[in-house]
Amino acid sequence: MSVHPIENRYYYHEMRRIFTEEARLQKMLDVEAALSWAQAQLGLIPPEASEEIGRKAKTMYVRLERVKELERLLDHDIMALVSALSEVCEGGAGGYVHLGATSYDIVDTALALQIRDALEVLERDLKELLRALVEQAEAHKKTLCMGRTHGQHAIPTTYGMKFAIWACEVSRHLERLGECRRRALVGKMSGAVGTMAGFGPEGFEIQKLTMEKLGLKPADITNQVVQRDIHAELQCLLALIAGTLDKIGREIRNLQRTEISEVYEPFSAGQVGSSTMPHKRNPHKSERICGLARIIRASVLPSLETIALEHERDLTNSSVERITIPEGFILTDYILRQMISIIRGLEFDYENIGRNIDLSLGLPMTERIMIELVRKGMGRQEAHEMLRRLAMRCWREKRSLREVILEDEEASSLIDREELEEWLRPEGYIGTAVEQVERVTRKLVELWLD
């Protein structure tokens, strides 16, 4: 029976499969097989022994249950693996398994193989989210809405701007992923403290051939482990991605508030919002994303703590990484795919979008009016103060800016009615929003989606 929600609730099969116990076991067997192949290439072990090890280094022969049984006896997971592989190899080949290696030659190199697979899935899903955001940015590049700062109406913007900004952020995550990949996809075959003493003078060549067989780069230099700044950086990448998804989810949740009601996450015909309130249409998918993002971010600190291992290594990283790395990748992939579904299914209430633009009595246009007055020769500070005074009157009296300006002796002497009508048009004050969206989406398509 499963206990952790990443086993039964918050996962997609493709990513979870990478981090199952059986998948991890197979990656470690792959490393053992690659090591024996490299040693055979150099004439250090008989070719037939390497061939037998390669044949038997499969979970159909080395059963997970047997490895666990041996671990209970030996209290050492990698020695259990070595023993389980050795006992199924025939013709004396078992005596050459793990020759010269240390446990973390196997563990860290196998982990790099898992990370490689996980980053491929993550990269594909990031590109899919990017595509969904670019499509929404293009579709809504002219969809006028009220911009908000500090939770208050600011000046008009477009929904295309929101999506384009998020898309650029996802693009930066793709760049970061590429940088992390270059540093993370390294393995080691350097022995107990990194000196390669157990491999003799062929140490460099054994490591090189082993990594070539596995499609990894050799780490430049190690002690008993690949240094943990690499893995901490990956956790930071996952946290950054989660932060973006949290931000998008929060925006959707806020825009779905009853008092705003501009955008809604998808809601199926038979979906239930509340067990007691039949009318509820809760943004629970976005809320779930925001909640899980907290877990992903929280994994950064223990991951950073694993950098400071003692001497040539201690074991304090192991227990942490058995949790943070699978959990981080599985949860990030889950909320990423959930967000793709949300973005593609967003619903817009254009009537409420327009209503909210009109809600602030025309006050979001004070910046434009101030700038136009400066162009007519009024001092910027003077114009700002006059409009601040008029805006406060609008709030007090709950009257529109148009009315208050036309009634005010100073303001009406500077602004005629025709000018005012033009300056109060929100669609006339979105600057280069449409052009910015078009430029960004073009760039992102060329970079990632062509």
Q: Report, as residue numbers or ranges, the catalytic residues.
A: 150, 274
* Dihedral class, residue 63 (left if φ above 0, else alpha if ψ from -120 to 50, else beta): beta
Are residues 45 and 39 in contact, defined by beta-carbon separation less than 8 angstroms? Answer: yes
Q: Which residues, 6 or more positions from 262, have their beta carbon under 8 angstroms from its beta carbon?
A: 145, 255, 256, 348, 349, 352, 353, 356
Pairing of strands 347-348, 263-264: antiparallel
Decide if 429 contacts 126 (C-beta within 8 A): no
Question: How far is it, in rounded angstroms, from Cα 353 to Cα 146?
Answer: 8
Q: Contact 27/181 with Cβ under 8 angstroms?
A: no
Amino acid letter at 275?
S
C-beta separation of 21 from 57 below 8 A? no
Kindly provide the b/e burial profile for residues 36-50, where b requires at least 16 CB atoms within 10 angstroms of the residue's own CB: bbbbbbeebbbeebb
Q: Which residues contact 272 (CB under 8 A, 6 or more apart)?
A: none
CA-CA-CA-CA dihedral for 60, 61, 67, 68, to nearest 10:
40
Which residue type does 34 have? A
